[in-house]
Amino acid sequence: MTKSLFLRLTSAFVCICLMIPMLAGCSGNKAKTDTPSGEALDVRADEYAGLVDGYDPEVDDLDAERSASDEVSLAGTVLTLNGEEVTFSNSRLVQYTKISPNKNDTNGEVTHRTHKIDTITIHCMAGQLSVETCGNVFADKDAKASSNYGIGSDGRIGMYVEEKDRPWSSSNSENDNRAVTIEVASDSSDPYAVTDAAYKSLIKLVADICQRNEIKKLIWSADKYTRITHQKGANMTVHRDFANKSCPGDYLYSRMGDIAKKVNAILSQNAGTKTSTTKSEFPYMVKIKAKMTDVRKGAGTEYDIVTTVKKGEVYTIVEEQKVNSETWGKLKNGAGWINLKDTEKVN
Ligand SMILES: [Zn+2]
């Protein structure tokens, strides 16, 4: 927080997009942002502006005691929405979790989103922030802002609001009720470019969200009206559709079609390859035949390694998933998933 107020106010940037709208041409130190219900609220523009330089040790140290990842169940939550049972889950790609109090209704009466997930809304942080710094900002009740996920400039993925809950991200509660929102670390000035690592993680995360929420194809429309009315299958919106701001920045905005294309390539690659084997085939036992093999958080090499298992050890498999023509097995002991090519079945 060493930048002078003058510098903070004269740099034309957007901080964590919701809280610090464009200050270009703004003469005061107040900026408009939106409450979850979409009503305008004044916030001090300089309050969070110091964060845009990236990792802020002052802020992170303040929160050191409670900065350990919150434990959040990855198992599905079933909610009944308009008479339909909808299963919500969270991404296994998450490496840091800090649940924000800013979600759902302000009065606490509605404790989850009320629409199934059918939209993706990508935002830019307007700062090359870490997932921890972003989490600290969203942990502040007064910030009145949050997102489901955040991606740091190093490509790490954070979760702040579980998918079953409505985040406060897009200045439009209707949009946030149906969208999974993602804040991506970006430069603090036009065109708000993001790192290659963050971009790659974004593609993986969006594909994962689509798969779990049965969004079969991601469709971007260059036309705002088509996007916000969800015509022609359009299921990507942007913050600038709902508020007078540059978010997600021209760098990401101009790449929305590319993001959809890359995500759809993953979706079609995985389509039909996920085996939903009948229960009667499980459980079965396997013996590790490789010298050593990794146990990962999810099925596939994009997931973090949680531990390793050694040759000769025997494990019980309770579920299978096919990923890129390789079959992964879920360990009964809950440790994670292993590539079954490194194993042999035992009776
Ligand atoms: Zn935004």
Q: State whether 220 and 315 are in the same domain.
A: no
What distance in angstroms lies between residue 122's CA and the mean position of ligand 1's atoms? Answer: 7
For residue 206, name the pLDDT band (cuts at 50, 70, 90).
very high
**pLDDT tens-digit readout, 188-201:** 999 999 999 999 99
Query: What pLDDT, on a 0 to 100 scale, did the predictor assign at position 283?
Result: 87
Domain with 178 in it: 32-271
What distance in angstroms lies between residue 239's CA and the mean position of ligand 1's atoms? Answer: 5
Q: How many Å apart are CA 219 and CA 76, to the nearest integer?
A: 26
What distance in angstroms lies between residue 294's CA and the mean position of ligand 1's atoms? Answer: 38
For residue 272, name the pLDDT band (cuts at 50, 70, 90).
low
Domain boundary among 228, 243, 271: 271
Query: What pLDDT, on a 0 to 100 scale, did the predictor assign at position 100?
Result: 96
Number of neighbours of residue 217 by Cβ within 10 angstroms: 13
What distance in angstroms lies between residue 81's CA and the mean position of ligand 1's atoms? Answer: 27
What distance in angstroms lies between residue 34's CA and the mean position of ligand 1's atoms? Answer: 11
> Per the domain annotation, does 89 fall within a domain?
yes
**pLDDT tens-digit readout, 208-249:** 999 999 999 999 999 999 999 999 999 999 999 999 999 999
What distance in angstroms lies between residue 13's CA and the mean position of ligand 1's atoms? Answer: 12
Cβ distance 193 to 183 under 8 Å? Answer: no
Query: What pLDDT, on a 0 to 100 scale, did the predictor assign at position 70?
Result: 58
CATH number reported for the structural domain that contains residue 309 in this entry: 2.30.30.40
84-87 long-range contacts (CB < 8 A, ≥24 apart) are 84/116, 86/116
Q: State whether 266 and 287 are in the same domain.
A: no
Rounded to 5 degrees, φ, ψ at 223 are: -100, 120
Strand order in the sheet with 305-310: 305-310, 292-296, 337-339, 326-331, 314-323, 284-288, 343-346
For residue 42, name the pLDDT band (cuts at 50, 70, 90).
very low
Our count of domains for the chain comes to: 2
What distance in angstroms lies between residue 262's CA and the mean position of ligand 1's atoms? Answer: 22
Residues 6+ apart with CB under 8 A from 332: 283, 315, 316, 317, 318
Residues with CB under 5 Å of ion ligand 1 are 17, 123, 239, 247
Query: What pLDDT, on a 0 to 100 scale, did the predictor assign at position 49?
Result: 33
What distance in angstroms lies between residue 247's CA and the mean position of ligand 1's atoms? Answer: 5
What angle in degrees, to the nearest 10, is found between the helix axes of 256-270 and 196-212?
Answer: 50
> What mean pLDDT is predicted for residues 270-278?
58
To the nearest whole number, what is the mean pLDDT of the chain? 80
Cβ distance 208 to 149 under 8 Å? Answer: no
What distance in angstroms lies between residue 192's CA and the mean position of ligand 1's atoms? Answer: 12
